[in-house]
Amino acid sequence: MPAHPLGLDEAEAQRRLARHGPNAIAAKHSRGLIDIVRGILREPMFLLLLAAAGLYLVLGDIGEGLFMTAGAVVTIGLVVLQEVRSERALAALRELAERGCHGNFWAVACGLSARA
């Protein structure tokens, strides 16, 4: 797309906006807490850990079973916490990655988002 060195006039900018959409990264749907927990519980290592804890409980070794269950719960909790932090960091990076317009061409004020 050729452009004038001084930028686009308002008519051309509006035409390109209508044709190509806003100059923004498509928003990705972030996972909720339930989706994160569901994904973690489907991982084979956590399933094995929970199965071992269940086996201890079924075989009557209550102390080992409870200890293994507590370890599994703590581990799952830490992974959930890390996943939530990662989702937030990715959302913040997406926000930073959005380009801003830094000119006074056709009523775009300095510092506004490219969507404005």
Q: Tens digits of per-residue pLDDT, 51-94? A: 999 999 999 999 999 999 999 899 999 999 999 898 888 888 87
φ/ψ (deg, to 5) at 113: -65, 155
φ/ψ (deg, to 5) at 100: -110, 155
In percent, how much of the chain has pLDDT > 70? Answer: 73
Would 37 be classed as within a structural domain? Answer: yes
Residue 32: pLDDT band with limits 50, 70, 90: confident
φ/ψ (deg, to 5) at 106: 35, 55
Would 106 be classed as within a structural domain? Answer: no
Choose between 27 and 47: higher pLDDT: 47
Structural domain of residue 59, as residue ranges? 32-84
Would 97 be classed as within a structural domain? Answer: no
Question: pTM of this prediction?
Answer: 0.57
Would 1 be classed as within a structural domain? Answer: no
**Count of the separate structural domains present in the chain:** 1
Q: What is the DSSP string of 51-78?
A: HHHHHHHHTT-HHHHHHHHHHHHHHHHH
Asked whether the predicted pLDDT for residue 105 surpasses 60, the reply is: no
3-state secondary structure of 114: coil
Q: And the tokens for 78?
A: 């830490």
Would 68 be classed as within a structural domain? Answer: yes
